[in-house]
């Protein structure tokens, strides 16, 4: 029996029903009461029809989150040709090049989602950290592994966590797969950059820009790579510890915590090395102290201030950790005391983690 036949049967039964179980004083009362179930059934049918005709919620959220504008890209930093026409929101302007945000996260970080949340170590108790993971458009399996492990952690004690993946652009097939991934997870920040290790710093800057413009300044910002494993419990304890230190020592800003270690080394001059820097770029014998790029954490406020200095320094896109936590930090006059080295590595490469487990460590 189809749906229309069922509806007719129900209406027929209601029409012929006898409400003998009720005692009404008049025949008119019986007729009036018999109409009520009919209105109820018709109302339900209209409600179901309305719900069925509504667009899917995730599509509404997705389109609202991308913030499309009239910008279009016909050229990117590559000789591989133009990317497919798309709509973009604002992005990053570096020298003569502009990189637009193609897709943005559809997560919402309004305070109403978390109740009475005030992320200030002097007054509040709860806090939020957003980790920006540099990935490539091809590395779906790595992103899935993170989402299933440390990236699945949403709350520990007073800390709340979110993860966003930063990727570049690819061919039409890769873009279609990424679109579906974004529809399901909503955690992709894509920029109009062809995947290239020498431009990895652009991804870091993209995360900094998006964070400083879309997150409250008192949230915590972390950056990492898609081959890293992070001990979220230790991260929580460290942030809690230094929230107290900021108050005790009256520091003007939250420090930069180097979760993967620090560096203080000579620049590599061999041009064949992907991490090299010429004497023309950097003439000094040592880099300033910096955080290794595997993971570091600070406040969105600090990230916003570092971002404003980008145009005032030499660009080291292949050495984003040295550039941002070393050179830009120095220019900000942030002392080495506020570059915190942990006693142990809080973040590890997945390969190192497997090796440690195999050796019984």
Task: Supply 224's token pair.
Answer: 């990492």
Beta bridge partners of 188: 165
Is the residue at 35 inside a domain? no
Contact 37, 156 (CB under 8 A): no
Determine the Cα–Cα distance for residues 51 and 57; give it in Å rounded to an integer: 11
Report the pLDDT averaged over residues 208-230.
94
Is the residue at 14 inside a domain? no
Is the residue at 315 inside a domain? yes
Domain assignment of residue 108, given as a range: 60-353
Structure confidence at residue 95 as a pLDDT band (50, 70, 90): low
Q: How many CB atoms lie within 10 A of CB 314?
A: 10
**Between β-strands 127-134 and 97-103, what pairing exists: parallel, antiparallel or unpaired?**
unpaired
Is the residue at 87 inside a domain? yes
CATH number of the domain that 121 lies in?
3.90.550
Contact 254, 220 (CB under 8 A): yes
Is the residue at 22 inside a domain? no
Q: For residue 37, what pLDDT is reported?
A: 66
Tokens 């009362």 found at: 29
Is the residue at 336 inside a domain? yes
Determine the Cα–Cα distance for residues 240 and 236; give it in Å rounded to an integer: 6
Task: Supply 198's token pair.
Answer: 């020498």
Does the pLDDT value for residue 342 go beyond 50?
Answer: yes
Task: Supply 138's token pair.
Answer: 């091809």
The mean predicted confidence, pLDDT, of the chain is 75
Q: For residue 9, what pLDDT is reported?
A: 58
Structure confidence at residue 173 as a pLDDT band (50, 70, 90): very high
Is the residue at 9 inside a domain? no
141 or 77, which is more confident? 141
Q: For residue 22, what pLDDT is reported?
A: 36
Q: How many CB atoms lie within 10 A of CB 86?
A: 17
Determine the Cα–Cα distance for residues 228 and 351; give it in Å rounded to an integer: 9
Instruction: Name which of 25-29, 204-208, 219-223, 240-244 the model is least confident about.
Output: 25-29
Q: For residue 246, what pLDDT is reported?
A: 95
Task: Supply 309's token pair.
Answer: 């200095």
- If we measure between CA atoms, which residue out of 268, 30, 230 comes closest to residue 145? 230
Number of structural domains (the chain) is: 1
Q: How many residues are there in the chain?
A: 361
Q: What percent of the chain has pLDDT over 90?
A: 42
- If we measure between CA atoms, which residue out of 91, 72, 80, 94 comes closest to residue 174? 80
Task: Supply 229's token pair.
Answer: 């494993």
Report the pLDDT averaged over residues 325-331.
89
Q: Which residues of 239-277 are buried (b: 16+ CB within 10 A; e: fewer)?
A: beebbeebeeeebeebbbbbbbbbbeeebeeeeeeeeeb
Q: Where are the beta strands (DSSP E) in the chain?
A: 89-94, 97-103, 127-134, 155-156, 159-169, 188-194, 220-225, 228-230, 256-258, 262-263, 290-291, 295-299, 339-341, 347-349
**The overall pTM is greater than 0.75:** no
Is the residue at 52 inside a domain? no
Determine the Cα–Cα distance for residues 232 and 218; give it in Å rounded to an integer: 19
Does the pLDDT value for residue 48 go beyond 70?
Answer: no
């Amino acid at each position: 029996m189809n749906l229309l036949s069922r509806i007719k049967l129900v209406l027929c039964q209601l029409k012929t029903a006898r409400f003998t179980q009720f005692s009404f004083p008049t025949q008119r009362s019986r007729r009036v009461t018999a109409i009520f179930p009919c209105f109820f059934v018709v109302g339900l049918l209209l409600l179901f029809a309305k719900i069925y005709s509504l667009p899917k919620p995730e599509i509404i959220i997705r389109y609202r989150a991308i913030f499309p504008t009239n910008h279009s890209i016909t050229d990117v930093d590559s000789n591989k040709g133009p990317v497919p026409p798309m709509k973009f929101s604002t992005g990053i302007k570096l020298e003569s090049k502009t990189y637009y945000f193609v897709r943005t996260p559809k997560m919402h970080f309004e305070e109403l989602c978390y109740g009475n949340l005030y992320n200030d170590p002097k007054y509040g108790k709860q806090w939020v950290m957003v980790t920006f993971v540099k990935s490539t458009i091809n590395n779906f399996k790595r992103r899935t592994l993170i989402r299933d492990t440390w990236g699945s952690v949403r709350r520990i004690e007073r800390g709340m966590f979110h993860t966003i993946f930063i990727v570049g652009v690819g061919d039409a097939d890769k873009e279609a797969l990424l679109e579906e991934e974004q529809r399901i997870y909503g955690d992709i920040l894509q920029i109009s950059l062809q995947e290239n290790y020498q431009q990895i710093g652009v991804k870091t800057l993209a995360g900094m820009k998006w964070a400083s413009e879309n997150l409250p300044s008192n949230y915590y910002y972390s950056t990492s790579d898609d081959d890293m494993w992070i001990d979220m419990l230790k991260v929580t304890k460290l942030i809690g510890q230094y929230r107290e230190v900021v108050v005790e020592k009256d520091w003007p800003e939250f420090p930069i915590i180097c979760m993967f270690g620090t560096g203080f080394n000579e620049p590599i001059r061999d041009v064949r090395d992907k991490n090299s820097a010429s004497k023309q770029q950097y003439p000094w014998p040592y880099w300033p102290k910096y955080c290794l790029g595997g993971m570091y954490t600070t406040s969105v406020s600090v990230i916003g201030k570092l971002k404003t200095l980008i145009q005032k320094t030499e660009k080291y896109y292949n050495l984003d950790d040295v550039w941002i936590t070393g050179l830009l930090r120095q220019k900000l006059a942030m002392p080495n005391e506020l570059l915190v080295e942990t006693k142990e590595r809080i973040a590890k490469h997945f390969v190192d983690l497997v090796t440690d487990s195999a050796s019984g460590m």
